[in-house]
Structure 1
Amino acid sequence: MVTYQRFVALGDSTTEGIGDTPYADGSPQGWADRFATLLAQAVPGASYANLAVRGKVTHEVHAEQLAPALALDPDLVSLVVAMNDLIRPRFSADAIIGHIEAMVGALRRQGADVLLMTFPDLAAVSPVGRLVRGRITDLNRGFRTVAARHGAHVLDIATVPSAGDPRVWADDRLHLNPDGHALLARAMAATAGLPDTDNSWRAPLPPPLRRGLRERAEIEAAWYGTHLGPWLGRRLTGRSSGDGRAAKRPDLLPIVA
């Protein structure tokens, strides 16, 4: 029976909620907020904090989010990281997995259950996805090894066909769209053992509508100009989308649907 009372989410823009439908004040919703609502339905009175900040790489999550998370004494922690590492020129799977193992080990020693997640094949999502396939394979192997070694839960989203479908990704191809965040929330709920979950999130989406060559070319040109260009600009100038930003929910607060 699920009895989690204190859920804390760590990570980057995926967990902050970028790409999901915003709230009235403009702040992002996201899969972790959706998951917290499902948790509150199962465990009335549960509380939730979200320390994730967009743009963070794994070593920054380790340095900046682990200690505040431990101070909150959670009994359930999600750690969804490394998307930003994947697309950096310098990449070391061993270093990334080392940081993840250190975080998972510390959380488990304090008594928290931990939720990890592998990456899907992103080849169909963007050209960048095809370039980082080998990196994804190495990271996923590491995620599974860390989970097995420390008794953490791992959502093996790499085995879910719809997770790599462009239709659950936002126009920038780096973040999930509302359908993707909803899918991830349901998948995490099943992984955490929340009651009344099903496996509908595992089902592939229906075949997509076929687009003509001209339409596809226009979509690609828009992506390069609107999203890839600004991202490259930030990289070249050493800036991050998370510069100057704080966690959206740094304290454990009651979950309100």
Structure 2
Amino acid sequence: MGPTGYVAIGDSQTEGVGDPDGSGGWRGFADRLAEQLAGLTPDLHYANLAVRGRFARQVRDEQLDVALALRPALVTVVAGMNDLVRPSFSATEVGACLDDMFAELTASGARVATLTFPDLSQLTPILRPLRHRVLDLNASIRTSAARHGVALVDTFGYSVITDSRLWCPDRLHANPVGHARIAAAFAQALGLPGSDDSWSRPLPAGERRTVVSRVADDLGWLARFVGPWVYRRVRGRSSGDHRVAKRPTPIPVIPPTTEPA
């Protein structure tokens, strides 16, 4: 696959937040995808440049040139979630940043893959005001992906993607089950041998929750996650402050012998 087989750029989802690796760090869909690729290309080298809290503009400005310098055969680009929840969000500006990355990466000869965002209002009614933002950004992503020949994982509209059993308690990061589904979706979009559409199939029916339990859960979520998030933003801080990429140098991929819990 070339000097560097696979480079992942983006924010916390690509970093792997929500999917423990069993050693105190994060695994995530990109690591999982790299492991699948390594099964097809044993000498695969993989770098992950993602840093949590980054906006699409920051991913473009801080990670794109580094990725290009590595001359990857494959790049996944996932950015925009941090922009979606900001008051100053502009689908046009975020879409332009993503389009810039798609253009430069595909022009370099790399295969590029990305995804659209799910309907966040299905995770919690409190996020319903963000639905039109998601629709606008997804439309931009689809247009850019088609323009540049980018492989697209279109998550919007699949009920399983907003099943709470795929998400961490913060409702913004996928859990291990969710990251595994995202990796499988990318594998299908890239046409990897053995991939299929099983990632999009619903989970078995779960226990029905009462209105009281859902309201209590929403209130707990507001206190535990939304409050601290707002506090950080008021102070001009980010979860990604002083953090660096977890895998800045391409190194061989060693698949785990067992699945982390």
| TM-score over 0.5 for the pair | yes
* Cα distance between partner residues in 2 of 1:54 and 1:129: 21
Q: Distance in 2 between matches of 1:103 and 1:93?
A: 15
Q: Kindly provide the amino acid, as one letter, of the partner of residue 95 in structure 2.
A: I
Contact 1:53 1:247 in 2 (8 A): yes
Q: Is the 1:121–1:129 contact (alpha carbons within 8 Å) kept by the matching residues of 2? A: no
Counterpart-to-counterpart distance in 2, 1:162 and 1:32: 20
Q: Deviations over 1:21-67 (max 9, x none)?
A: 2331x111101000100000111111110000000000000110001
- Matched residue type, 1:10: I
2:134 aligns with 136
Paired residues of 2:102 and 2:112 also in contact (CA < 8 A): yes
Determine the C-alpha separation between the residues in 2 that align with 1:203 and 1:172: 23
How far apart are 1:140 and its partner, in Å? 0.7
**In structure 2, C-alpha distance between the alignment counterparts of 1:240 and 1:110, rounded to whole Å:** 32
The aligned residue for residue 84 of structure 1 is 82
Quick one: which of 218, 231, 234 aligns to 1:233? 231
Distance 1:160 1:108 in 2: 28
Q: What is residue 10 of structure 1 aligned with on the other side? A: 9
What is the identity, as a one-letter code, of the residue corresponding to 2:150? A
Residue 95 of structure 2 is aligned with which of 83, 94, 97?
Answer: 97
Show the counterpart of 1:31.
29
Q: In 2, distance between residues paired with 1:7 and 1:22?
A: 19
Aligned mates of 1:173, 1:154 — CA distance in 2: 23
> Which structure 2 residues correspond to residues 56-205 of structure 1 after superposition, within 5 A?
56-205=54-203
**What is the rounded CA distance, in whole Å, between the counterparts of 2:159 and 2:211 in structure 1?**
25
Which residues of structure 2 form unaligned runs of 5+? 256-261
> What is the CA–CA distance in structure 1 between the aligned matches of 2:218 and 2:199, rounded to whole Å?
28
Deviation at 1:206, TM superposition (A): 2.7
Shift in Å at residue 91 of structure 1? Answer: 1.0
**What 5-or-longer segments of structure 1 have no aligned partner?**
none
Q: What's the Cα RMSD here? A: 1.3
TM-score of the pair, normalised by structure 1: 0.95
Which residue identity is paired with 2:34? A
Quote the Cα distance in structure 2 between the aligned partners of 1:15 and 1:77. Answer: 11
Amino acid at match of 2:128: R
CA shift, 1:128, in A, is 4.3
Deviates more, 1:53-62 or 1:163-172: 163-172
Tell me how far apart the structure 2 counterparts of residues 253 and 207 of structure 1 sit (CA, whole Å).
41
| Amino acid of the structure 2 residue aligned with 1:138 | D
- Paired residue for 1:215? 213
Question: Which residue in 2 is equivalent to 1:41?
Answer: 39
Hey, what's the Cα distance between the residues in 2 that align with 1:217 and 1:128?
Answer: 11
- Equivalent pair of 1:12/1:53 in contact (CA under 8 Å): yes
Amino acid in the other structure paired with 2:15: E
CA distance in structure 2 between the partners assigned to 1:200 and 1:248 by the alignment: 29
Give the conservation status (yes or no) of the 8 Å contact 1:124–1:166. no
Match of residue 258 from structure 2: none
Aligned-residue identity in percent: 46
What is the rounded CA distance, in whole Å, between the counterparts of 2:157 and 2:213 in structure 1?
30
The whole-number CA distance in structure 1 between the counterparts of 2:85 and 2:196 is 33
SS in 2 for 1:157: coil
8 Å Cα contact 2:113-2:151 kept in structure 1: yes
Counterpart amino acid of 2:247? R
The AA in structure 2 aligned to 1:60 is Q
Partner of 1:201: helix, strand, or coil?
helix
For 2:78, the aligned partner's letter is V
Larger displacement relative to structure 2 (153-162 or 6-15): 153-162
2:53 paired with 1:55 = yes
Partner of 1:224: 222
